[in-house]
Each structure stands twice: as structure tokens, then as C-alpha cells.
Amino acid sequence: MTPVILVCITLVLIAGQASSLPKDDNIKFVQGQVLRAVTKTPAHPFLVRTNKTSGLVYEGYLKDVLSSLARILKFEYEIYESPDGKYGAPDHRGVWNGMVGEVAYGRANLTLAPLTISSLREKIVDFTKPYLHVGTDMMMKTPSEDVDIFSFLMPFEPFLWLTILGAVLGIALLLFLTAKARTMAGAVDKSFDNDSAFTGYNSIWFAVWSVLRKGGEPAPRSIPARILAAGLWLFALIVVSTYTANLSAFLTVKRLESPINSLDSLVHHTKTRFGVPRDTFLYSFFESYKDDTGNVYKEAWDRMETDDSYYKNFADGVSKTKKGEFVMLAETPFLEYAVLNDEKCELMLVGAPFLFQGYGLATRRGDPLRKALSIG
């Protein structure tokens, strides 16, 4: 196939992209319109607002998605912030606030945010097909590692240390008594043996430097002394090798153990406060269980209400978490972003994700825009 034919095929495919969408009246309805997209920032990494010389600029995953949809469906758009800075939940009168309220009451055409699709919200707005499926995670401050000057004793239990000390002193005593008995019995070869040098002090010192695997004086010359020394060296070889292996394991494999590994353990960990932001899907979810009994979500709601441990926004939640004794509950992408971008490595995720939901773009009820966006 010649390069000319390849170029022609490529041009045909590019030209055909505009007509690749199905011919749908909903898509034609959108073409040429100027849509108002309501959002809430910051929402790393989905959407952030930055100040540049040209003015306010929105950047992020959802901004790229909306730009691509505008190019495919041939519409224009403008983005504005939700006046109350909330995602959207009903109050006691049933009036919705946040981005959901902006769309439901006709002030915006669609939401541009990581908005969770829920049955409660679908009573007042329509959602596109989910663009991302997420779970709910828990984030806490990384447990601090206490420095212990006696950490070198950790590989062995205290009883074992006492046993080793007793064995070393016992061999030193046997060495001293053997040398003393041989000297008193006149069984010493004065031209070769040095049993007389093994006093109580020297015997203990010989046992110590044998265990530490360092040379020293005096060295045993008589056969009984050498037999005791060989037994001590074999004992030292086994003890030191075992100690070195265990010490390496303690120093290199330090697992951060947390008493919290699930929502149930979090609820029953009375010393730790936890919370979610108000007027969000998570808040409405836990609130829906407030009249239940014997349910972990009910217990979680009661704890949050009693402690008043809700956080205002994402930055506030991260700040509380870094102070310690607080666990932040939020969707997994937000918490993963916070952990990966924490310069001091003070944050960690605990437990397994739960409560899986989808993110979608919300439109007014019955608006053909929903289908057009889903197709796009």
C-alpha cells in the first residue's frame, strides 16, 4: 500500500468523524446552543480553577471532557461556580441546594463535577451514563514511628536474653573452675598450658569477646579449656546468626498496623473521630439510615451527629486528618489524589473501598441534552 493511499484513507477517516455520530434529533437539538455548566472547585483532579493573565481558567479531566463534547456535538458552553459551593442535597422543606438545585431549577443546563448518581438525586434531575465508577474510602494520618533506643533488644524476648546471659556466665565459671582445678592438681604443662591465666576476670572477658566474635587474650591452650571454648563459640555462632536475621527483619519489614481496617472497626474505635462533608451524597446516604437499628451505617451516623465531626470541604478534611485522631471519608479518587500528592507522606488509605457508585453529568428532567451527552 503506497503512502499516497494511506494519506487518502486517513483524510477520509478524519472527515468521517463528524458524521460518525448517529443521526438523532437530540443531537441536532444541542447543536449551536450555548450551555451553562455549573461546577464546584477545587475538585482535584477533576476540575480546578487557576488565575492566569487571560483571567480565570478551568483545567482538569472534566474540562477536557466538556471541550471534547462541545467539539463533537457542536455546541458552546460557559462554566460558572455554584453560589453556595455545594454538590446538592434537599433541606427539610425539600428544596435542593448546590449544583443539583442549579440544574433542577433551570439556572444551569448541566453539572460539571464529580457528582455521584443516586436514586434521591434522580428524582429531580437526570444523569448521563456514568463516566467513572468509584467507591468510598477512608483516609487517616500515617502512624508515627516512635524511636526506641532499646530497639536492638526486640529480636529476642527478655527471658531469652536472660538465658543467653546465664549461659555465657555459666561457661565463664566452668572455664575458671576447670583452670583452677587443673592448677591445684598439678596437671598443668607449664611449658605450654596457660590455665593459671584464666582468673575470674579473664574468664568472663574471654566469654564476652567470644560471643561478640572478636579476638582477645588469653587464648586457651589446654585441651579441657579448648573444649569449653569450642562449645562457647558454637553457641555464639548460633545465637549471633539468629539475632542478625531477626534484627534485619525488624528493621526492614516495618508494617504500619492500624486498628482500623473497615467501617465497622472505625465505628467501634471510640478514640477516633470521622466524618463526611454536609450536603453530599455520602451525607444523604448515612442520613437515610438514621431511623434503622442494628446497622453499621446507623451507628456511623449517630457517631458523626454526636461528635459533630463533619468537615466543610476537601481541604478542611485533609487538614483535620493531618492533625491526627480523625478519619476522612470520601470517594476514592479524591483520597488517592491527596495521598499521592502529600509531600510529607503523612496520609494513608485504610480498609477496602465500599459503597460503589458512579459519577455522571446531571441535566434537567426530560431534557434531551442528557441523551446527547451520553451519546457524545
CB neighbour list of residue 55: distance below 8 Å, 6 or more residues apart: none
CB neighbour list of residue 351: distance below 8 Å, 6 or more residues apart: 137, 138, 260, 261, 262, 263, 265, 266
Annotated binding-site residue? 116: yes
- In this structure, are residues 34 and 369 in contact, taking their beta carbons and an 8 Å threshold? no
Annotated binding-site residue? 2: no
Q: Where are the alpha helices (DSSP H) in the chain?
A: 3-16, 25-30, 61-73, 98-104, 158-185, 200-211, 223-252, 263-267, 281-287, 296-307, 314-323, 332-340, 369-375
Measured CA angle at 222 (ends 221, 223), to 5 deg: 120
**Terminal CA-CA length for the chain:** 33
Distance between CA 35 and CA 173 in Å, rounded? 93
Annotated binding-site residue? 270: no
Annotated binding-site residue? 114: yes
Extract the C-alpha cell encoding 30. 444541542
Nearest to 138, CA basis, from 354, 284, 299? 354
3-state secondary structure of 104: helix
- In this structure, are residues 86 and 99 in contact, taking their beta carbons and an 8 Å threshold? yes
CB atoms within 10 A of CB 298: 17
Distance between CA 245 and CA 241 in Å, rounded? 6
Report the amino acid identity of residue 179: A
Residues of the binding site for L-glutamate: 114, 116, 121, 331
Task: Please give the annotated binding residues, written as ranges.
Answer: 114, 116, 121, 331
